[in-house]
Amino acid sequence: MIEVMLSLQERDPGTYTDVTIKALCAELLGAATDTSASTMEWAMCLLLTHPEVLHAARAELDAKIGQGRLAEEEDIPNLPYLNCIINETLRLYPAVPLLVPHESSQDCTVGGYDVPRGTMLLANAWAIHRDPNTWDEPEEFKPERFQCEGGKKEAGLRMLPFGSGRRKCPGEGLAMRLNGLALATLIHCFEWEKLPGEEVDMTEGPGLTMPMAKPMEVVCTPRHTMLHALSQL
């Protein structure tokens, strides 16, 4: 991204100033890093509270990748169950529960309500993702709901972790690859356990990106079958 920005600066230095480039870098790093880290933390907590899902994901990784190497980016599209886990995590715990504000450009009527021009709208993705009228057992962690062909696409506007339309998050593709690769590595290479005598606290904390109220603390140990691959790092 920086390379592109600097090349644009050479052609149009008045528009692509150093201040503009630094602001864009800070925005991308802040938005992408915080939201991806939050999604990873929720995913690992959900897996620890649903060990059968964790074991199924690990079995898929062992079958598709083996135990002689680490997962790579090109492996992610071939791991459908892992992608189901990420989608289900984003459904239950969207990184940005209230989507970026939208504003009506003209007077309109939506669902029988008159909406004046200039009305600001904040879409509650968290509530949409847990609507019992459109989701089967909406409070349950069921990655299988996305296993059907095009499961995420069929969800349509019921599934909005990255927003929708022209203001949809441009980092969706990168986020899905990043979370997929990181989660695959954690599941594939390590054994995960809860702290002795403690349960995972799934309480949601305050903030625009909905962090966990209590940061996750767990015990992890390298899988013996992956020690050789890890030693090559």
In a domain, 5, yes or no: no
In a domain, 113, yes or no: yes
In a domain, 2, yes or no: no
- How confident is the model over 141-158, as pLDDT tens digits? 999 999 875 556 667 778
- How confident is the model over 177-194, as pLDDT tens digits? 999 999 999 999 999 999
Segment 192-210 shows an average pLDDT of 90
Q: How far apart are CA 27 and CA 212, in angstroms?
A: 22
- How confident is the model over 68-113, as pLDDT tens digits? 899 999 999 999 999 999 999 999 999 899 988 888 999 999 889 9
Q: What is the DSSP letter of 205?
A: P
> Do residues 63 and 233 lie in contact, with contact meaning Cβ atoms separated by under 8 Å?
no
In a domain, 22, yes or no: no
Is residue 174 scored above 90 in pLDDT?
A: no
Domain that holds residue 172: 35-231
The predicted structure's pLDDT at residue 184: 97
In a domain, 57, yes or no: yes
Segment 13-28 shows an average pLDDT of 90
Q: What's 209's domain CATH number?
A: 1.10.630.10
> Do residues 204 and 93 lie in contact, with contact meaning Cβ atoms separated by under 8 Å?
yes
In a domain, 9, yes or no: no
169 is in an annotated binding site: yes
Segment 46-56 shows an average pLDDT of 97
Q: Hey, what are 107's tokens?
A: 């007077």
CB contact set of 108 (below 8 Å; sequence gap of 6+): 114, 115
Percent of the chain with pLDDT over 90: 71
CB contact set of 61 (below 8 Å; sequence gap of 6+): 71, 79, 82, 184, 187, 188
Based on the structure, what is the number of domains in the chain?
Answer: 1
